[in-house]
Amino acid sequence: MLSAASARAALPDEIQVYTDDLEAAGKRGVELHVNTTPSGRSTPEYPGEVSPWHGVRITPEISWGLGHDMDWGLYLPFVRSAAGSDYFAGPRFRLKWIPIKSDHGAFAGVNGELSFVQRRFEQARRTLEIRPIVGFRGERWLLSFNPALGADLAGAERGVLMFHPSLKLAHDVGDRTALGVEYYAELGPLGDPLPRHEQSHTLYAVIDAERSLGINFGIGRGLTAATDRWTVKAIISF
């Protein structure tokens, strides 16, 4: 039987719902993911773990366009713990493919991610995620759903598929600004979900703005006892 710890992302270095965004062929993009947990879990769930409470995660992401429907990226997560210690958590690699895409209409694709993370943040150290991407982009509305599956590549739970869906709904309010909500859940094993009180559910109020820099800013509220109570996050696109 898996514990409640299995329902939560061990290292919340990237809090994002994937949409149809892609780097153009031959172009490079840079994003900076920043988040912190003012109120949340402070007790380690296994020996040596760095808990998220009062921690700050800063993760540069560099991406390259490979063609009209594909790009790949590299994440380099850095963590400052509540005790003031600094860590490089370990690299993550991703490959995104969006074969169905239009300026106004449905989009669909998939993102794969391979992670090599220090044990103090993820007990298995090596993980794989497959994130389907489906949604609709209208003149003023954006809807995207990511029914993601993750699995450890090492350790006692190697190969167990964990279900962690996410959803984004945003409405354009003018001047290249949108308001919306993002929802993230960690439900446990795909075929045997955890009881709701052991699942992680977080709802974010978000604002997206496209100026000289792109900004996604959100404040998240945990909806269950197994979820960090408050999380603040920002993504800055250069």
> Residue type for 165, please?
P
For 58-117, write each residue's pLDDT tens digit: 999 999 999 889 999 999 999 999 999 999 999 999 999 999 998 899 999 999 999 999
38, 54 contact by CB (below 8 A): yes
Residue 102: its pLDDT value, please? 87
Average per-residue pLDDT in the chain? Answer: 94
Copy the structure tokens of residue 198.
């052991």
Q: Which residues pair with 177 in a beta bridge?
A: 174, 209
- Among candidates 194, 198, 196, 168, which has minimal Cα distance to 183? 168
Per-residue confidence band for 4, with pLDDT thresholds at 50, 70 and 90: very low
pTM, two decimals, is: 0.93
Q: Could you give all domains of the chain from N- to C-terminal order, each with its CATH number?
A: 4-237 (2.40.160.40)
Kindly state the average pLDDT of the residues 40-46: 92
- Using DSSP's 3-state secondary structure scheme, residue 7 falls into helix
- Among candidates 106, 184, 92, which has minimal Cα distance to 142? 106
Per-residue confidence band for 5, with pLDDT thresholds at 50, 70 and 90: very low
Kindly state the average pLDDT of the residues 145-155: 96
List for the chain the helix, strand, coil content (%; round to 5). Answer: 5, 55, 40
Per-residue confidence band for 8, with pLDDT thresholds at 50, 70 and 90: very low
Tell me the percentage of the chain whose pLDDT exceeds 70: 96
